[in-house]
Structure 1
């Protein structure tokens, strides 16, 4: 569980218009996460645009990451693909490059059954030979993991964790208790959905799989540490400072907002992969205002790059 606890910071993957990874820019972003003291890096997750990249570019990204921060911080690599054999190949690539763990979402064009997802997860886990985190992301995959499927997968050797979305009914405490009762003691249960991070950690979640930490790792880490220490007032105070940003994440999708943040802070000059379009100038001003609530100084952040 050590790779799947605390703050996991998910970086964007800077690319050019043709989808070629800017490995130097990626290394700079990952180094900032390392220096901030995050517990792990999430590479090629949804924030990292894995679905927009070829296998060769995904391999280049992992190799660049391991060259930059490998051995200094755990790196968890997303290996989702439409076909099982493609996901298996990506898992082997990640292991060969030195990754520490895998993250797997059940991508599909045709809706999948529970048995199909189970067999897919088991096959990719075996092929990769690294601790695997189930990526439960119904917002993009349209597949919802049942409690019984999670419990079944949690018993598979090598499947060590799950990255959960925030529950629709908001009952994180109840969901955690329910899943804990059905999964092994060492099975890690963490959450994404940045606006619910503080509550998920306060209620005993093992990890925050954070979008915002990919570019604002120090600020996200302060929130993580306060919540995991049970310091509710401090965690809620820090979470409140993020609230304008959370609102923009909900309105535009965190993927678009993260590219705007990278540009505003001068961390890298890239745009999202097409067909995703960048935010318009008026909305970028709103992102700047939201960053102001965190008392960030763009010039100071840019100098870190």
Structure 2
């Protein structure tokens, strides 16, 4: 049985007027994602703004997500930090808060080497009591996993999955094919990308990790279900309808745009942490128009 399933929604972290973490909107997003059919939820990823949170705030976010999920789906918690010791502490705290798995990015100020990343994975996976998911996000972390290095890291005992990405559909398909042949069967192969992720599922990945699924869960569940069922034409047709929204979110800056879109859809996530600035009025209007053009969300066939 897969650990995370076909679609994991990556949740933003709501804040109050003083910058404090606010629980109610987070719990609402968890419940909406689960009700829509997401197979898992994740907190403290890039959409969740983990580098901007204190250790205490991170713990609060994980505890709230786990409570809201209520055992219905697994909760994944990001544990990124600059030092291995910090990552291990975040891992232990997330485990104690009830996380079913942890997500390990390669966060660094100085660019990491392959060997340093493999050391990080080995030490964290050795300390963790839940599966560790490897997170490939070269845009945010500046470290680019080669297929060979990611496959080596996936062999480390304690690694439960990889979250890969590609620069375009062809690269993503090629990486999924290569990793499918190289990673152990016990390691769940996943992909990210609010636009391209569906191509990873169609190429054989088992999990789609999406930030935009946190605010449009029914749409993303419908695409993921069609893709994992082998209904490629239906999956791509649904994604073509979603693409204008997803591409606009990318252009406006993923986490910023997810915050703005959540507000358009009726959930106020509060202020972004300074120096991040919110999407401007023109961007908000564009998001509202794009999501309005979607119409009613499809009902996923299960």
> What's the counterpart of residue 95 of structure 1?
95
Asked if the contact 2:74/2:100 (under 8 Å) is kept, the reply is yes
Is 2:169 aligned against 1:174?
Answer: no
Q: Take 1:122 and 1:234, find their aligned partners in 2: how far apart are those partners?
A: 40
Query: Separation in 1 of the partners of 2:149 and 2:55?
Result: 29
* Helix, strand or coil at the partner of 2:46: coil
1:103-182 map, 5 Å: 103-168=103-168, 170-182=170-182
Contact 1:261-1:287 at 8 Å conserved across structures: yes
Whole-angstrom CA distance in 2 between matches of 1:110 and 1:67: 37
The CA distance in 2 between the partners of 1:273 and 1:49, in whole Å, is 9
1:122 is displaced (CA, Å) by 1.5
Q: Counterparts in 2 of 1:1-305, with a 5 A limit?
A: 2-16=2-16, 18-168=18-168, 170-296=170-296
Whole-angstrom CA distance in 2 between matches of 1:274 and 1:184: 42
Which SS does the other structure have where 2:161 is aligned? strand
Q: Quickly say closer, same or farther: Cα 1:83–1:18, change in 2 above 3 A.
A: farther
Secondary structure of the corresponding residue to residue 195 of structure 2: helix
Could you state the TM-score of these two structures normalised by the residue count of structure 1? 0.93
Which residue pairs with 2:300 in the alignment?
A: none
| Inter-CA distance 64–134: structure 2 relative to 1 (3 Å threshold) | same
Shift of 1:277: 0.7
Root mean square deviation of aligned Cα: 1.6
Q: CA separation in 1, counterparts of 2:102 and 2:60? A: 16
Alignment coverage as a number of residue pairs: 297
Indicate how the Cα distance of structure 1 residues 103 and 172 shifts in structure 2: closer, same or farther if over 3 A, else same.
same
CA distance in 2, matches of 1:194, 1:269: 20
* SS of equivalent residue, structure 2 residue 237: helix
SS in 2 for 1:4: coil
Tell which deviates more after alignment, 199-208 or 268-277. 268-277
**Deviation per CA, 1:148-173, whole angstroms, max 9, x where unpaired?**
22122111111011111224573332
Gaps of 5+ in 2: 298-302
Q: Using the alignment, how far apart are the partners of 2:286 and 2:271 within structure 1?
A: 17
Aligned residue in 2 for 1:303: none
CA–CA separation in structure 2 for the residues paired with 1:8 and 1:105:
16
Q: Secondary structure at the match of 2:255?
A: helix
